[in-house]
Amino acid sequence: MKLKGKVALISGGARGLGRAYAEAILKASGKVCLCDIDSEEGFKTLNKFQKTFGNDNVMFVKCDVTDHNSFENVFKQAKRKFGALDIVVNNAGLLTEDNVRKTMMVNSIGVIEGTQLATHYLSKESGGQGGVVVNISSTAGLTPVFYMPIYVASKYSIVGYTRSVAQNPANKERGMRYTCLCPAFTDTTMFDKKWSDEGEGPPPGVSEEEKKGALHLIEATGVNTVEEVVKGFMLLLEVDDNNGAVMTVTKKHGIQYRHGKPLSHKL
Ligand SMILES: NC(=O)C1=CN([C@@H]2O[C@H](COP(=O)(O)OP(=O)(O)OC[C@H]3O[C@@H](n4cnc5c(N)ncnc54)[C@H](O)[C@@H]3O)[C@@H](O)[C@H]2O)C=CC1
Ligand SMILES: CC/C=C\C[C@H](O)[C@H](O)/C=C/C=C/C=C\C=C\C(=O)C/C=C\CCC(=O)O
């Protein structure tokens, strides 16, 4: 997809990776509707982007992706302002093991409902031009991690969901493609520097064993810069014949496509 003039909706776009995806699309002459539950940070980002890219190319709508009406309102407002929608990035996420329902609501159901809304609002059968969905999982969506099983469950669900939707032949008719981006540890607020050896120590409540596990994995994969993840993200948008692609980005191994082999029906 050539990004000039294309319109993207990005959830969790107020900061971190979501904000960086937005900036990359704006730099490529696209337009962006940011949405986030954090309106203070969202309006700060909006002001900054408006100064650089112009008021006509970017908007912000406060939204909680776990509230269907609130999320759908973003799609309606983006279409009203820009007249079209071509890209949806389901990026909003959180990392907590303390609240299983909240983690699953944001990381899993928020992404699934965002994909359903995208299919409806972008689809040729609803008067759209078709388009692309990028669902943000994690390498923790492809490998077990003993100290964050709930986060892992939420992220695995996104990989399976995206691959399944991509296989639906009806979505080809609709002009839709679906992809999944799985970054490993990346240097944002979510990846608290306290986890690294130079940091102040892990957050309260983290056991020594969990810390050891985290440090071991961090050492094995390295820590991505935001720019490295954005490079993979832009490839997913720009390459048109990648429906169903699952891409990992790790500091040590760079960009890799992961081909999930379906189990044989005999099993
Ligand atoms: N930083 C990392 O190491 C990695 C992050 N990821 C994933 O990338 C995505 C972005 O992560 P970061 O930018 O690092 O995190 P971040 O914490 O900096 O940004 C997440 C954004 O999502 C928003 N958000 C949270 N709950 C929301 C809700 N209910 N409705 C709307 N917005 C909501 C937050 O307000 C925040 O602006 C997440 O899905 C995360 O799981 C994946 C792999 C690695
Ligand atoms: C301390 C945690 C803070 C933030 C974590 C993030 O939210 C992130 O989403 C969590 C990532 C967890 C990753 C866990 C394991 C990752 C493993 C790999 O990436 C394996 C990489 C390469 C192996 C070789 C290969 O198969 O290519």
Q: Please tell me the predicted confidence (pLDDT) of residue 119.
A: 97
Q: Are 29 and 4 in contact (CB under 8 A)?
A: yes
CA–CA distance, 39 with 50 (Å, rounded to integer): 16
Q: Please tell me the predicted confidence (pLDDT) of residue 207.
A: 84
pLDDT band (50, 70, 90) for residue 74: very high
CA–CA distance, 197 with 216 (Å, rounded to integer): 11
pLDDT(267) > 60: no
pLDDT band (50, 70, 90) for residue 101: very high
Establish whether residue 216 lines the binding site of ligand 2, counting it when its CB lies within 6 angstroms of any ligand atom: no
Residue 16 CA, closest ligand 1 atom number = 13
Q: For residue 61, which ligand has an atom nearest its CA? A: 1
Q: Please tell me the predicted confidence (pLDDT) of residue 214.
A: 84
Distance from Cα 140 to the centre of ligand 2, integer Å:
5
pLDDT(99) > 70: yes
Q: Please tell me the predicted confidence (pLDDT) of residue 194.
A: 61
- Our mutation pick for probing the ligand 2 site, out of 103, 107, 136, 139, counting the most ligand atoms within 8 A of Cβ, is 139
Ligand 2 atom 14: the closest Cα is on which residue?
140
What strands lie across the sheet with 246-250, from one edge to the other? 58-62, 31-36, 7-11, 87-90, 131-136, 176-183, 246-250, 254-257
Ligand 1 atom 39: the closest Cα is on which residue?
93
Handedness of CA 56, 32, 26, 83 (dihedral sign): negative
Establish whether residue 143 lines the binding site of ligand 2, counting it when its CB lies within 6 angstroms of any ligand atom: yes
ipTM score for this prediction: 0.93
pLDDT(77) > 80: yes
CA–CA distance, 208 with 54 (Å, rounded to integer): 49
For residues 98 and 161, the model is more confident at 161
**Which active-site residues does the annotation give?**
151
Rounded mean pLDDT of 238-251? 96
Ligand 2 atom 15: the closest Cα is on which residue?
140
Q: Which helix (H) or strand (E) holds 60?
A: strand 58-62
* pLDDT tens per residue across span 158-217: 999 999 999 999 999 999 999 999 999 999 887 765 666 666 666 667 788 888 888 888
Ligand 2 atom 6: the closest Cα is on which residue?
185
Distance from Cα 125 to the centre of ligand 1, integer Å:
31
Q: Please tell me the predicted confidence (pLDDT) of residue 201.
A: 63
Q: Please tell me the predicted confidence (pLDDT) of residue 260.
A: 77
**Prediction pTM value:** 0.95
Q: Please tell me the predicted confidence (pLDDT) of residue 258.
A: 96
Q: Using only C-alpha atoms, what is the Rg of the chain?
A: 18
